[in-house]
Every structure is written in structure tokens, then in C-alpha cells.
Amino acid sequence: MKGYKIIVLAKQVPDTRNVGKDAMKADGTVNRAALPAIFNPEDLNALEQALRIKDNFPGTTITVLTMGPGRAAEIIREGLFRGADDGILLTDRAFAGSDTLATSYAIAQTLKKHGAYDIIIAGRQAIDGDTAQVGPQVAEKLGLPQITYVEEVQSISKGMVTVKRRLERGVEVVKCPVPLVITVNSSAPDCRARNAKLIMKYKHAKTISEMQEANEDYLHLYSDRPYLNIKEWTVQDIEVDHNELGLTGSPTKVKKIENVVLQSKGAKVITSSDEDMDQLMRELIENHTIG
């Protein structure tokens, strides 16, 4: 066996975890500029599982596949800096407004076009939507078995993958032959840091759109060193039914978005003084909330 062909599905997401006050504008809308774009955390857990398989099985290749705007090429470079072999950026205006189903269709069609894969690994869910849907939806469209909530790929032997799943109420160990789809939890080990040598090697890796904006002095690099070319695919590069894409291909529609406007219900404001604390505890005991 000459290693495994692994695809890591990754997403660039706004960092919604520690949203500060400047994340909302005065008019109550989301200030996207205040939220940094990051590699979706659980997709990094997924990448680490892929890298461990590569550590154990020489000849394994890892391709990072992401769908998003041009700047999402950043997370492909982040993958290359950590040990991925190449990447595909799937980007097209036709994908705008995709819900999870239209997204999984585009990704599944890309994987069909790309062909060879043994293991498709994704994070369980992305922090901007928390739906955990795209992994299983891709698996269904490719007719592959899925194993979700994975904490560890324990072993692979003759194409049979054994994994540990961390569920809400327990743990399962299951095995399944390749090809399959795996989604990885945040309880899995963190992704390794970027490797200095790989940063040197891949820092100029670019998609064709990025090359067009690059300094001309560097352009010779991309013919001399083909590994610096990040594949950039549009709908032209995959076979699609346009009715399945973007808003049109999305069964779910957003009917209404409400900004969260908080109206105080008139709380009692008290200090941390001994008098106030004493009074508070008396009040709670008297009205039988505690005690």
C-alpha cells in the first residue's frame, strides 16, 4: 500500500468565538471587518488527523479543499505550512447564497471531478453556522459511509479504518473500510504548529487570481516550481446542474433576520459591598429562591 489519498474539507470562517463589542455596528448590524477570518477550528483538528495518517503511512497525500471567496486561499496556505501537499480553492459567484445542501452539492461534484480519494476528513462543524451538516451531506451525495464525532483515527490496516467517536453520552470504537467520510470533534488533538521549512517552501504559493496581482519579478517561480500553484476551480471546472447551485439550489431560505436588540427589564443594580451582599442574600432567602 503506497499510503492513502486524503482530502481535508476546510472552511475559512469569521471568528465568532470571542465577539467583542465592536463586532456590532451602532445600527445593530454585524461588523464583519471587526471579525478576523480564520481556519475553522475543528477543520484544524481534522487536518491534524490527516497529518498523523501521513506520518504513519509514507506516500500518503493530503489535499485541502475549500469553497469560498478568493481570500480563502489563505487557509490552503495554512494547510501547506503544516504538511498538506496541495489545495483546491473552489470559488465562483454562482455559489453565493448556498445553504448547506447547495454547498455539499458543489463539494461533492468537485470531489467527483478530482477523483482519487480514500479518506475525506472534515471538521464536525464550522463556528459560523454550527450546523454539522456538510460532512454527512457530502457523504450521502458520494454514496460513502460516514463516521461523525471522531476524536481519534486509531489505526488503519489494509484499508480498514478504526476510529474512536466521542458522543454526548459516551464513546464508540467503530471500523469501516475506505473510502469513507470522517468528521472530527474539537476534543481531538490540536493541530500541530506551522513548520518553518514548509513556510519557506510554500510562502509564495498562490492561486491564479493571486498570481495576477503578484509582483512580476516572482512570476517565473510558478513555472519553475509547480507546487506553488494552488488550484483555483470555478463551476467551469466541475460538472454541475446550475439549478443545484447557490440560492437557487438551496431549499432553505432566510425569511427574516432580526438583530438582537436588548431592552433591559429593569434589573436591581447592586454593588459588591458587604451591605448589598447581605441584603441580596436575605432577599433571596425570604422569597424562598434559596435556602
Partner 1 sequence: MNSVFVYCEIEDGQVAEVSLELLTKGRSLATELKCQLEAVAIGYKLDGIEKDIFSYGVDVLHIADDKRLAPYSTLPHNSIVVKLFQEEKPQVALMGASSVGRDLGPRVSSALHSGLTADCTSLVIGDHEDKKLDKVYTDLLYQIRPAFGGNIIATIINPDCRPQMATVREGVMKKEILDPKYKGKVNKLDVSKYVNDTDFVVEMIERHMEKSKVNIKGAGIIVAGGYGVGSKENFNLLFELAEVLGGEVGASRAAVDSGYVDHDRQVGQTGTTVRPKLYIACGISGQIQHRAGMEESAQIIAINTDPEAPINSIADYVITGDVAVILPKMIKYYKANTK
- Among 26, 36, 58, 169, indicate the residue that binds partner 1 (CB under 8 A): 169
Work out how close the CB of 35 gets to partner 1 at its nearest, in angstroms, rounded to a whole number: 8
Work out how close the CB of 161 gets to partner 1 at its nearest, in angstroms, rounded to a whole number: 10
Work out how close the CB of 11 gets to partner 1 at its nearest, in angstroms, rounded to a whole number: 14
Q: In this structure, which long-range contacts are made by residues 29-37, counting pairs with CB atoms below 8 Å and at least 24 apart in sequence?
A: 29/259, 37/12, 37/13, 37/71, 37/74
Burial class (CB in 10 A: 0-12, 13-18, 19+), 50: buried
Our finding on whether 265 is near partner 1 (CB under 8 A) is yes
Our finding on whether 271 is near partner 1 (CB under 8 A) is yes
Our finding on whether 162 is near partner 1 (CB under 8 A) is yes
Work out how close the CB of 59 gets to partner 1 at its nearest, in angstroms, rounded to a whole number: 25
Closest CB to partner 1 among residues 167, 208:
167
Q: Tell me the CA distances in angstroms from 100 to 175, 226, 247, one per residue in order.
A: 27, 33, 11
**Binding positions for partner 1, 113-132, rule CB under 8 A:** 127-132
Please, are residues 138 and 9 in contact by the beta-carbon 8 Å criterion?
yes
To the nearest 10°, the Cα dihedral for 52, 55, 59, 62?
Answer: 40
Q: What DSSP element (H or E) covers 161?
A: strand 160-167
**DSSP string for residues in 196-229:** HHHHHHHTT-B-HHHHHHS-GGGHHHHHH-GGGB
- Among 1, 96, 199, 285, indicate the residue that binds partner 1 (CB under 8 A): 285
Work out how close the CB of 103 gets to partner 1 at its nearest, in angstroms, rounded to a whole number: 11
Q: Tell me the CA distances in angstroms from 203 to 47, 164, 194, 206, 219, one per residue in order.
A: 19, 35, 11, 9, 14
DSSP-derived secondary structure letter, 189: P
C-alpha radius of gyration, the chain, whole number: 23
- Among 68, 83, 135, 246, indicate the residue that binds partner 1 (CB under 8 A): 135
DSSP-derived secondary structure letter, 14: E
- Among 60, 137, 156, 238, indicate the residue that binds partner 1 (CB under 8 A): 137
- Among 157, 212, 215, 289, indicate the residue that binds partner 1 (CB under 8 A): 289
Closest CB to partner 1 among residues 1, 285:
285
Work out how close the CB of 277 gets to partner 1 at its nearest, in angstroms, rounded to a whole number: 4
Our finding on whether 24 is near partner 1 (CB under 8 A) is yes
- Among 45, 60, 98, 100, indicate the residue that binds partner 1 (CB under 8 A): 100
**Binding positions for partner 1, 184-223, rule CB under 8 A:** 186
